[in-house]
RNA sequence: UGGGUUAUUGUGUAACGGUAGCACGGCAGUUUUUGGUGCUGCUUGUCUAGGUUCGAAUCCUAGUGACCCAACCA
């Protein structure tokens, strides 16, 4: 079991830092902005940050990057905490960038005092124009040469609320000619007379990401600050602030964010899907949100396994959704309780079956020797799946056909003798005979059949609703597709079976149960389910080589 | 036309100058009271062109493609 596994590039950095004594213990952080729900891309970051800390005996803080009061809300804070814990991780400290507002303010004052920041009265359009372009240097304006004293006073006045939104900003004085646009005197504080979900109305100026993130890392003594590739150009600013302020030198490392086929990952697009009613909320089972996947029945174990399998590197990637499906099947196969549910019923009558019926034992999980059994009622009249019968069967068809025999799972071998139709020619019933000595576990018939079908006793059938989900988009690479991403929404991504027939034991199902409907797929109870009307979500179907061969 | 990051099979990801490996997918076989699972085997890859070297995915030079950066968003 000593599987030699190569390290990813961040693990290599950490091991080098530990070996050289640069750090004796590592501290990472997961820093979401509470302005939306977490998605599978965040799961990658969570697994990375918490996973690294766990692997190397360190810790991870959960820090909310709440520096923009107009987009953030406590609702998101709660859902984020919930999702992180559900994924199986526990943070060392729950922190907020807003906890550091006073300290951040003092950092800005220090910068002003060093002549490294100034208050600018320009409009955002003027600032943008003065910044130049990648090939043309920016030009300084008159505000850039304000005195330290004046800047100090003006910044204090900004804090005191003497100015309206947009009237003034504080800018770092770095280099207007830098080829890195982010270094051309970036704005580090702006005025927003807005209510903050935690600090209320205590502040009317708020630090920008570039002035808050690195310093927050530093305040917490984060050793390895791990973020996605698009922040690479921000790193010089991150380092500049820490250096000028002379504070704890946290370091930023960047990895490639997760992209997945047939879905979208940006908060903006996810929000749009919710707001425009293309899905039924953030936790719609088709969403790439953690809450959606959770509702759909994905397990924390399978998501963690997925994040582990996709690896960590710096190149752009597009992960096959099929890999996620593989991970969830792999886990669910080991833990899901087997049950029989018929989606599209076709009645069969066992003409030679006498008596009121019997209860037959059926294994709960063939993968689990200790899984036990449950009793399934067997009677004269049963339902099987309509497409498990063909009047004219092609060769290699192992299911039921006139004159052909199959085993009913955990029950008997039956043979189809007669097909009954209505006036329109639709098949309404099959008359079959069973082999009394072919009882499951006690078969002395010597008959060998190729097919085994799932079934439900007609008299005991429990009507349930089943919801089946397909990919949300028709395009593999949605982000790269031309035009509006909404043009590629899969109209058939949700299929509802209002009345499927389940074996009676399923009436006891609870929200945390995981099932495999035999020969169908993996299912769980939806949150909208009630004892009167059970609702199941399909997590993922079973691999179906027959349907592929059939094509 | 500026700066940055990146390029290994269909998709991901290893290889740290010395046999291009692993996973998913695909294909074939086998097992099976789930056409599921398990097991076995197979599965056209180092962006291009030069160079250094006994030997290059790896080092050098020159190209090419992709992605990111000019929000008072993060």
**Final residue of a structural domain among A401, A427, A454:** A454
CA–C1' A328–B26 (A): 20
Q: Is residue A233 part of a domain?
A: yes
Q: Is residue A308 part of a domain?
A: yes
Q: Is residue A111 a contact partner of residue A245, using CB atoms and an 8 Å limit?
A: yes
- Which nucleotide's C1' is closest to A366 (Cα)? B37
CA–C1' A281–B20 (A): 47
Q: A127 pLDDT exceeds 50?
A: yes
| Residue A267 designated active-site | yes
A29 and A150 fall within a common domain: yes
CA–C1' A549–B28 (A): 14
Q: Which of A44, A171, A267, A374 is catalytic?
A: A267
Nearest alpha carbon to residue A514 among A363, A361, A329: A329
A286 and A399 fall within a common domain: no
CA–C1' A70–B21 (A): 50
Q: Is residue A459 part of a domain?
A: no
A76 and A176 fall within a common domain: yes
Q: A3 pLDDT exceeds 80?
A: no
A120 and A232 fall within a common domain: yes
Residue A201 φ/ψ, nearest 5 degrees:
-110, 20
- Which nucleotide's C1' is closest to A408 (Cα)? B33
Q: Is residue A2 part of a domain?
A: no
Q: Is residue A4 part of a domain?
A: no
C-alpha dist (Å) from residue A509 to A113, A196, A342: 66, 43, 17
A328 and A371 fall within a common domain: no
DSSP A51-75: HHHHHTT-EEEEEE----TTT--HH
Q: Is residue A122 part of a domain?
A: yes
Q: Which nucleotides of B are covered by protein (CB under 7 A)?
A: 1-8, 10-16, 23-27, 33-38, 66-74
| Residue A495 designated active-site | no
- Closest residue by Cα to the C1' atom of nucleotide B67? A316
pLDDT in tens, A279-290: 999 999 999 999
Nearest alpha carbon to residue A122 among A189, A169, A182, A178: A169
- The residues with which A535 forms a beta bridge, in sequence order, are A465
pLDDT in tens, A81-100: 999 999 999 999 999 999 99
- Rounded to whole angstroms, how far apart are CA atoms A315 and A255? 8
A374 and A506 fall within a common domain: no
CATH number at residue A515: 2.40.240.10
Domain that holds residue A513: 267-337+464-549
**pLDDT value at residue A550:** 76
pLDDT in tens, A408-450: 999 999 999 999 999 999 999 999 999 999 999 999 999 999 9
- Which nucleotide's C1' is closest to A316 (Cα)? B67
- Which nucleotide's C1' is closest to A166 (Cα)? B72
CA–C1' A358–B64 (A): 73
Mean pLDDT score across all residues of chain A: 96
A308 and A420 fall within a common domain: no
CA–C1' A72–B26 (A): 46
- Rounded to whole angstroms, how far apart are CA atoms A406 and A413? 6
**Final residue of a structural domain among A255, A286, A312:** A255
- Rounded to whole angstroms, how far apart are CA atoms A45 and A13? 17
- Closest residue by Cα to the C1' atom of nucleotide B70? A133
Q: A1 pLDDT exceeds 50?
A: no
A279 and A420 fall within a common domain: no
- Which nucleotide's C1' is closest to A127 (Cα)? B72
Give chain A's domain count.
3
**Final residue of a structural domain among A454, A474, A498:** A454
pLDDT in tens, A14-53: 999 999 999 999 999 999 999 999 999 999 999 999 999 9
Is the whole model's pTM more than 0.90, yes or no?
yes
| Residue A268 designated active-site | no
């Amino acid at each position: 079991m000593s599987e030699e596994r190569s390290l990813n590039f961040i693990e290599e950095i950490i091991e080098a830092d530990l070996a050289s004594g640069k750090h004796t213990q590592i501290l990472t952080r997961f820093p979401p902005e509470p302005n939306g729900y977490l998605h599978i891309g965040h799961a990658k970051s969570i697994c990375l940050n918490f996973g690294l800390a766990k692997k190397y005996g360190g810790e991870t803080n959960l820090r909310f990057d709440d520096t923009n009061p107009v987009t953030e809300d406590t609702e998101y804070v709660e859902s984020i905490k919930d999702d992180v814990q559900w994924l199986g991780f526990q943070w060392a400290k729950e922190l907020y960038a807003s906890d550091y507002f006073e300290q951040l303010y003092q950092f800005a004052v220090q910068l002003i005092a060093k002549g490294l920041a100034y208050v600018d009265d320009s409009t955002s359009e003027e600032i943008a124009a003065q910044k130049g372009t990648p090939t043309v240097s920016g030009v300084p304006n008159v505000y850039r040469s304000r005195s330290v004293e004046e800047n100090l006073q003006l910044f204090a006045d900004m804090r005191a609320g003497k100015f309206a939104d947009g009237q003034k900003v504080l800018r770092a004085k770095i280099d207007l000619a830098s080829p890195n646009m982010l270094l051309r005197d970036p704005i580090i504080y702006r005025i927003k007379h807005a209510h903050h979900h935690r600090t209320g109305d205590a502040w009317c100026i708020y630090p920008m990401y570039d002035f808050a993130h690195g310093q927050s890392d530093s305040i917490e003594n984060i050793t390895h600050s791990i973020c996605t590739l698009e922040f690479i150009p921000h790193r010089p600013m991150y380092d500049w602030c820490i250096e000028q302020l002379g504070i704890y030198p946290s370091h930023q490392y960047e990895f490639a964010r997760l992209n997945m086929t047939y879905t979208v990952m940006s908060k903006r697009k996810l929000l749009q899907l919710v707001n425009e009613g293309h899905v039924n909320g953030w936790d719609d089972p088709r969403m790439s949100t953690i809450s959606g996947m959770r509702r759909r029945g994905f397990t924390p174990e399978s998501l963690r396994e997925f994040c582990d399998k996709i690896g960590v590197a710096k190149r752009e990637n597009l992960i096959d959704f099929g890999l996620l499906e593989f991970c969830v099947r792999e886990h669910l196969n080991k833990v899901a309780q087997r049950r029989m549910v018929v989606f599209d019923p076709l009645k069969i009558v066992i003409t030679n079956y006498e008596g009121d019926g019997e209860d037959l034992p059926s294994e709960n999980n063939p993968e689990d020797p200790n899984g036990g059994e449950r009793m399934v009622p067997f009677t004269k009249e049963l339902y099987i799946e309509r497409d498990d019968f063909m009047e004219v069967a092609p060769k290699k068809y192992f299911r039921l056909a006139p004159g052909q025999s199959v085993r009913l799972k955990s029950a008997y071998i039956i043979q189809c003798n007669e097909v009954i139709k209505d006036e329109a020619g639709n098949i309404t019933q099959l008359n079959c005979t069973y082999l009394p000595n072919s009882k499951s576990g006690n078969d002395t018939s010597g008959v060998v059949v190729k097919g085994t079908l799932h079934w439900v006793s007609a008299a005991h059938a429990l009507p349930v609703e089943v919801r089946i989900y397909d990919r949300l988009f028709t395009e593999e690479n949605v982000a790269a597709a031309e035009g509006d991403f909404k043009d590629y929404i899969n109209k058939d991504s949700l299929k509802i079976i209002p009345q499927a027939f389940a074996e009676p034991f399923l009436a006891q199902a609870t929200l945390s149960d995981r099932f495999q409907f035999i020969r169908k797929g993996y299912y769980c109870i939806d949150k909208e389910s009630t004892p009167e009307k059970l609702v199941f979500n399909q997590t993922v179907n079973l691999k179906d080589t027959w349907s592929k061969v059939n094509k």
